[in-house]
Structure 1
Amino acid sequence: MSERILSFLSLIVRRIFSDVAETLWDNIWEEIFEAIIKAEEKWQESGQGKVKKEWVMEQVMDYIQEEVELNWIKRRMVEFFLSQVIDALIETFNELVGEDWIDQVKELEEEWRERYLNKKLAD
């Protein structure tokens, strides 16, 4: 998909959400990242990409529908936009960090936890 089309859709989707609140836009991104990570943890075996993506889409759309009432056209536009964003994020994660990025996230999380706990205990 061309960047121009994705940018155009991003503009439209953002305008849809700007009616509710600017923070909703930021919260949606958090929901997307959180759902992707949960899906990666939930389905660790390979070949589950379609199932993971459908689950992520469902989680994020559930969140959005709790916050905003969307008509049929707006819902389809948001779903299409989310689909493209999820694909792009996963592709980018795999490209930059590798296929095992969820394991690397867990290792980094543990490292941060240890640093934080050690610092807190030292104080």
Structure 2
Amino acid sequence: MGVDVPTKISGFCRHLGDESLSALVRQKKMEAVYQRVRSALESGRIDDQLEADLDTINSMVLDFTGYSLISSTRTYSPLPGAPRSTGAQWWSCPRERCVGRGRVKAGEAAPICGISGEPLAQKPLSR
């Protein structure tokens, strides 16, 4: 099963501002690819080129560190007869471009989107 583009975007965005990613991009001379990803996300352009560039960045990180930028995300499938919603909240992209960034914990300040600069939104964990 392949990874969808919103999950790939979340993996990339989660590491924005991480100096080790920026340093690796410079070391591997991947600045142009990195900038294309940022520009595409800033403009809202979600297309095949963006996915290819996200895959290139992820492959570079995986080859160098042994770890992927892309991590599995939440899933929820209720048992028959159980409520469709868990009541849990998930930090979600304010512009609906990615799958978000983790479960909301009580009293936690909203993380900031590395692309838009907007706080992530609390939404129900419904799938």
TM-score using structure 2 length? 0.28
Higher strand share: 2
TM-score using structure 1 length? 0.29
